Chains A and B, each alone.
Chain A
Amino acid sequence: MPKLLVIEDGTEYFEFAQAFLRPSFTILQAQSGRDALALLATEEITALLIDLRFDRARPEQLLGDVQQTAAQLFCQDTFRATRYLQDQQGVFILAAARSCGHAQRAVFVHDFPARRLENLRKLYGSVEAVPTFDAPAILRCLQSQVTK
C-alpha cells in the first residue's frame, strides 16, 4: 500500500486524508518539518500532502532561521519574520525534504497563482496544488505519482 505523509501544524489535513484518501493510501502524519524529515528518513513514503501555513506552530518548531530572515527581509523585525516563516512553512519543509534527496510528489491544498506554482516546480520538481479539499482531485494528483 502506498504511504502518504501529511505534514501540517494541526489535524485537519490528517482527518481529511483518513476519511477520504485512506482506501488508496496508508496515512502518516508529521506536525513539524523536523518530524517530517525524520519520517522521510525512515519510511518508504510515496507522496506528500503539505499544508502551506503553520500559523499555530511556535517559532522553535519552524524550519528557517527567524533572526536571519528578519535581518535579510524585514529590517530586523523578528515578529514579521516569524509570521513569514509560518505563512510559508510548507515550502520551507518541501525545500528541506528536497535538499535531503526526497523527490516524492508534493501536493498542496492551496490556491497558488499560476506563476508561483510554476516557480515552485522549477525549484522543487514534482509539485501540484489543488485549491480546495476536493478528494477526487487530490487523489488524481497523488495517484499520477504512484502509477509513474
Chain B
Amino acid sequence: MSRATKTQQLLATLVHDVGKYVARTARNLGDAPITPLAAPVLQMLLDDCFGSATTLRPSLRFAELCRQLAAVNPDVDLSAVATGLSELDSLESLIRADNAPAVARAVALAKQIEADLRAHLTRQTLPRLTTKKKP
C-alpha cells in the first residue's frame, strides 16, 4: 500500500473515530447553546468529549492514530487539532458542572475539530482526484 493511500486511510479513520463522534451532540446545539442543557444532552456531550464506559476519550484515540500517521507520513500537521482536544480536556470539570461559557466553548471546539480533520482528509484526497497523466 502506498504512503498516500495509507495516509488517506488514517485520516479517514481520524475523521470517523474522532471528528464524527466528538461533534455528535455539539453540531446539533447551534452556535449559542441554550444552557443549562437537558441532562441527557449534557451526558451525551460529556461522552462525546471525554469518552464513556464503552468509548475511548477522543484525545487518547487521536494520539494513538497520530502516532500511526506520523510513522507513515510525518508531514501531516495536526497540531491545531491536538491543541483543540487539549483545550477540551482542560474544560472537563467545568463542562461536567454545566458551566455555560465552558459548554459553549466545548461546542465550538468539537465542531472545529471535526471540520479541521475533514479539511485535512479533503486536502489529502483532492490532488489524487485532479491529477491527470501527461500524454
Contact = CB atoms under 8 A, between A and B. Distances in A.
Interface residues of B, number: 17
A66 B54 CA distance: 24
A76 interface: no
Contacts of A109: 20
A15 B39 CA distance: 12
B49 to A, nearest CB: 13
B12 interface: yes
- The winner among B28, B44, B54 for most chain A CB atoms within 10 A is B28
Nearest to A56: B54
Contacts of A56: 54
A77 interface: no
Contacts of A20: 28
Contact of B44 (A10, A15, A110, A111): A15
B40 A19 contact: yes
A132 interface: yes
B12 A16 contact: no
B114 interface: yes
Nearest to B125: A113
**A-side interface size class:** 10 to 19
Contacts of B54: 10-11, 56
Contacts of A135: 28
Q: SS class of chain A's interface: helix, strand, loop or mixed?
A: loop
B27 A134 contact: yes
B105 interface: no
B77 to A, nearest CB: 22
A19 B44 contact: yes
A16 B24 contact: yes
B41 interface: yes
A44 interface: no
A50 to B, nearest CB: 15
Given A10-B54, A12-B21, A109-B20, A133 B27 contact: yes
Contacts of B41: 19
A19 B25 CA distance: 9
A12 B24 contact: yes
Contacts of A132: 20, 23, 27, 114
A133 B40 contact: no
Contacts of A11: 54
11 contacts: A10-B54, A12-B21, A12-B55, A15-B44, A16-B24, A18-B40, A20-B28, A132-B20, A133-B27, A134-B27, A134-B28
